[in-house]
Chains A and B, each alone.
Chain A
Amino acid sequence: MELREKIARRGAKLFKDGDLVNLGIGMPTLLSNYIPEGVNLTFQTENGAVNFGPAPAPGYEDPYLTNAGANPLTIMPGGAYFDSATSFALIRGGHVDATVLGVLEVDEKGNLANYMVPGKLVPGMGGAMDLVTGAKLVVAVTEHCDKSGKPKIRKQCSLPLTGKQVVDIILSELALIRVTPEGLVLEEIAPDTTIEEVVSKTEATLIIPEGGPKTIEYF
């Protein structure tokens, strides 16, 4: 199974029936492909809609209806549109149950850096700072190490933060790690890895729960 599919399949099981969920652009969006049967979620896009549907067939695009990446959407029964102040009232006000966002660095304290690399990449934070501040559950999804093999789960973030002590769960292709006041708890590991491999690829200290981590089930 491809790395991103592993993350998406496990991440998709983190939601409860009835949750209002905001998925970031990129890898987080993949989670919506694997929501278990019987779990009905409402998805929000921060540019101003809930209960949107998949991309329209070519030729059926509505130029006024897109996601936060300007890609065409459809709208489903129960859908609603609203302005940006309302959209962020939903987000900042704690009405969004869960958000899933990508990672440049995440650390032992649940600090998240995902919006800029000074001097190199400065796209801006968009809605990410509000999402990590306001959503009840903040899930950071990431490849365990970057392309050069450097751990992305750090003792301390070195990049400018998107949010301070905001992440609840870190999910990679190797592990599901919960951020607790005591530190990072290695709750689950993938069936094709070992505790030793996860620890060696994580810069932050991992707490191994009594009885060891559970094995992630993907289906």
Chain B
Amino acid sequence: MAKVITADEAAALINDGDTIMVGGFLGIGSPGTIIDALIKRNVKDLTLISNDTAFPDKMHGKMIVNKQFKKIIVSHIGTNKETGRQMTAGELEVELNPQGTLAERIRCGGIGLGGFYTPTGVGTPVEEGKEVRVIDGREMLFETPLKAKVAYLKAAKGDKFGNLRYHATGQNFNPIMAFAGETVVAEVDELVDFLDPDDVHTVGVLVDYIVRRGR
């Protein structure tokens, strides 16, 4: 069974300096209630693993504005001018990953693999410092897995067993982050007794805590 907790309790699971994953794509499919609680708790020096930093007034983009991160590992920051400003000013370390590489690094972190070789990024700045190996005649880069202390997810529906069902393009990084967090917290729009097993996107055994949106 997943334990139902409040957003404040979810935010209390991390401390200054921790690494977190936050689901979502430009804020769509991100856990907004938990993010507001993380802002209220004002934890600092965090490392963020997420696709992007949303917008300055939306989702974890607001945590950027509140200067809660020391490092972010993302694929895109173009929609949040404050991220770019902090990077240029040397206040924030930004590690840009190709989006498919980022997804696969998170997937590897969650499924017990030690990394993977990918042709993406060969001959680009992404190659710097990485092992290059020719596989089937094609140059590939070695990429390492990513994990986090806590993964904060968002789903449309969840049940008391922690099973999750996403909606539309709200899936994005959430299902893979569900494997890669030491502790996994899912914010849900709707909490039901149980989901139809055929409807489950993320199996509840991965999910430790459920937060109801707005609570």
Contacts and interface: CB of A to CB of B under 8 A. Distances in A.
Interface of A: 45-49, 62-66, 68-70, 73, 75, 81-85, 87-88, 91-92, 111, 119, 122-130, 133-134, 160-165
Given A124-B76, A130-B101, A49 B124 contact: no
Given A68-B25, A83-B172, 4 more contacts: A70-B28, A84-B100, A87-B103, A133-B121
Nearest to A73: B169
B75 A124 contact: yes
B77 interface: yes
A130 B51 contact: no
Contacts of A126: 52, 75-76, 78, 99
Nearest to B25: A47
A62 B171 contact: no
A84 B172 contact: yes
Contact of A130 (B29, B99, B168, B174): B99
B17 interface: no
Contacts, number: 146
Given A48-B25, A82-B171, A123 B100 contact: no
A122 B119 CA distance: 22
B124 A129 contact: yes
A125 B25 contact: no
Given A64-B169, A81-B168, A163-B124, A125 B29 contact: no
B79 to A, nearest CB: 7
A105 B77 CA distance: 21
7 contacts: A64-B167, A75-B168, A83-B103, A84-B171, A122-B96, A130-B120, A161-B123
Nearest to B189: A64
From DSSP, what is the main secondary structure of chain B's interface residues? mixed
Contacts of B172: 47-48, 83-84
A119 B90 CA distance: 12
A163 to B, nearest CB: 7
B171 A83 contact: yes
B42 to A, nearest CB: 27
B48 to A, nearest CB: 14
A127 B123 contact: no
A56 B156 CA distance: 21
B124 A127 contact: no
Contacts of A49: 168-169
Nearest to B173: A84
A129 B121 contact: yes
A46 B26 contact: no
A45 B169 contact: yes
Contacts of B87: 122
A57 to B, nearest CB: 17
Contacts of A73: 169
A124 B27 contact: no
Nearest to A90: B100
A187 to B, nearest CB: 26
B69 to A, nearest CB: 15
A64 B167 CA distance: 6
Which residue among B29, B78, B173 has the maximum number of chain A CB atoms within 10 Å of its CB?
A: B78
A49 B172 CA distance: 10
A83 B173 contact: yes
Nearest to A88: B100
A124 B74 CA distance: 8
A124 B72 CA distance: 12
Contacts of B26: 47, 66, 68-70
Contact of B119 (A66, A88, A92, A160): A92
A39 B76 CA distance: 33
Given A83-B174, A84-B51, A85-B103, A92 B28 contact: no
B76 A125 contact: yes
Contacts of A163: 123-124
